[in-house]
Amino acid sequence: MDPIRLIEIKEEILSDNNQLAEELREKLRKSGTLLLNLMSSPGSGKTSLILRTAEGLKNYLHLGVIEADIDSTVDAEKVAAQGVPAVQLRTGGFCHLDSSMVAKGLTALNTDKLDVIIVENVGNLVCPAEFDTGAHKNIMILSVPEGDDKPLKYPLMFSVCDVLLVNKTDYLSMSDFNREDLRRRVLALNPQIKIIEISCKTGEGITEWLDWLKNALADFKAKR
Amino acid sequence: MDPIRLIEIKEEILSDNNQLAEELREKLRKSGTLLLNLMSSPGSGKTSLILRTAEGLKNYLHLGVIEADIDSTVDAEKVAAQGVPAVQLRTGGFCHLDSSMVAKGLTALNTDKLDVIIVENVGNLVCPAEFDTGAHKNIMILSVPEGDDKPLKYPLMFSVCDVLLVNKTDYLSMSDFNREDLRRRVLALNPQIKIIEISCKTGEGITEWLDWLKNALADFKAKR
């Protein structure tokens, strides 16, 4: 297991973020590496999902992870402990990732050997939705304890994502979370989004998520 | 019940935010109105806490509420339905409140008759911690499902707050949340912070929170 690489990010947001994002996307398309941008509130289960994904796909594809955190390396340590190549971006005060930060993470990973790279964005439902990271697909997690009203309050996040993972379904029995209200609110914002209910704790729904990811990778490689 | 007032905020962040924050704080000190800035992740229970506070103190003091939301009025509607004067700040894309936004909310409320005003900040553990809103006290909520590692990942938020409310203690029995680990991590960042465990659902700990608020108000009025 490699030691965690730590990259300090201090530069101002690049004005040419969108252009760099397109360049990253195209470069990774050519090399056959699917880049996923994973976003959620703090504590919704991003790292747990990555660990479940690494475990479920370890005999199927080569996964790499770029972790973003304001001031710690705990997530990258957990991921690297599973034998998955991981880079930690320490964002200082930044509340989101942009494409220049992701580019630094990609440089630190050896992307040639990787089929899929998951970028764990900063835990935040607001700012990360506004910045193109260069990912091919945006994935978000909403956890049951956060409530079914979040699409009303953070509409951009739900609008820019390809997949919504509704995590912590093991809390449904003791919550007033209404799955149909959530589904209706999300689909009103984004009719194309794929919604999958999961529990990283019990494993419920993880197979459906892994199947989505395998299919997305097959489509991606077929279109090269 | 007054209709919800809606204020659109589009201006850029004021460079003189800190100076305006000091002016707001001093003006409210003279008029005897205690301003609280309430921060947390999305879905941690800010609005539920405000509703519990309004109910618990309705015969004791005059409360007003300033709600911030990116794109909805649902929170202010809930608060106003309890008979509490409420203003909704619609922040557009902004991920935090600053003192100029709070000043607009204060102008819209009739602050002369109010003992306490609670500002519900945008749901976000990152950016709101960086901007002085003019509040006399900063309060944050961390809910049990978010996990006990959040002080490691969002240290500034825990450092700038006077009170940490650990909400959703009704989830403790089905969670691996470690209260002692949390307490140790929080106190290492901020030895003066007051930590109160609550459940807005069951009412656990709410009396302790209300007592803290009553004492803070008495201290504040005594120092005028």
Beta strands in chain B (DSSP E): 5-8, 34-40, 63-69, 86-90, 116-120, 137-143, 163-167, 194-197
What local confidence, expressed as pLDDT, does residue B68 receive?
87
- Chain B nearest-CA distance from A178, in A, is 14
Residues 18 through 37 of chain A touching chain B, CB cutoff 8 Å: none
> Nearest by CB to A42, which of B74, B95, B125?
B125
Of the candidates B71, B126, B174, the beta carbon closest to that of A155 is on B71
pLDDT score for B73: 78
Q: Residue B70: phi, psi to the nearest 5?
A: -70, -40
Write out chain A in H/E/C secondary structure.
Answer: CCCCEEEECCCCCCCCHHHHHHHHHHHHHHHCCEEEEEEECCCCCHHHHHHHHHHHHCCCCCEEEEEEECCCCHHHHHHHCCCCCEEEEECCCCCCCCHHHHHHHHHHCCHHHCCEEEEECCCCCCHHHHCCCCCCEEEEEEEHHHCCCHHHHCHHHHHHCCEEEEECHHHHHHCCCCHHHHHHHHHHHCCCCEEEECCCCCCCCHHHHHHHHHHHHHHHHHCC
Quick one: pLDDT at residue A1?
38
pLDDT tens for each residue of A128-183: 998 999 999 999 999 999 999 999 989 999 999 999 999 999 999 989 999 999 99
- Per-residue pLDDT at B15: 54
| Tokens 């009103």 -> residue | A188
What angle separates helix A99-108 from helix A17-31, to the nearest 10 degrees? Answer: 30
Residue ranges of domains in chain A, CATH in brackets = 15-218 (3.40.50.300)
Residue tagged 């999305």 (tokens): B42
Is the confidence at residue A11, as pLDDT, over 50?
no
* Contact by Cβ (8 Å): A42, B146: yes
Distance (Å) from the C-alpha of residue B223 to the closest C-alpha of chain A? Answer: 35
CB pair distance less than 8 Å for B42 and A154 = yes
pLDDT: which is higher, B39 or A87? B39
- Widest Cα–Cα separation across chain A: 47
How many inter-chain contacts (A to B, CB under 8 Å) are there?
104
Q: What is the pLDDT of residue A12?
A: 41
Contacts of B168 in chain A (CB under 8 A): 145
Give B9 or A194, the one with higher predicted confidence. A194
pLDDT of residue B13: 42
Q: What confidence tens digit (pLDDT) does each residue in A13-25 have?
A: 445 788 899 999 9
State the best of B51, B70, B169 to mutate against chain A, taking most chain A CBs within 10 Å: B70
pLDDT for residue A7 is more than 60: no
Residue A207, number of CB atoms within 10 A of its CB: 12
Within 8 A by CB and 6+ apart from B40, the residues are B46, B123, B125, B140, B141, B142, B143
Contact A36, A135 (CB under 8 A): yes
Which one, of B67, B90, B216, B125, lies nearest residue A70 by Cα? B125
Quick one: pLDDT at residue B5? 52
Q: Name the minimum distance, in Å, from the CA of B222 to any CA of chain A.
A: 37
Residues A53-77 have a mean pLDDT of 88
Instruction: Say if residue A3's pLDDT is above 60.
Output: no
Is the CB of B124 less than 8 angstroms away from the CB of A124? yes
pLDDT along chain B (224 residues), means of 10: 45 65 95 97 95 95 90 81 88 81 89 94 91 96 96 95 98 94 98 98 97 97 88
Work out the minimum CA distance from B188 to partner chain A, whole angstroms. Answer: 15
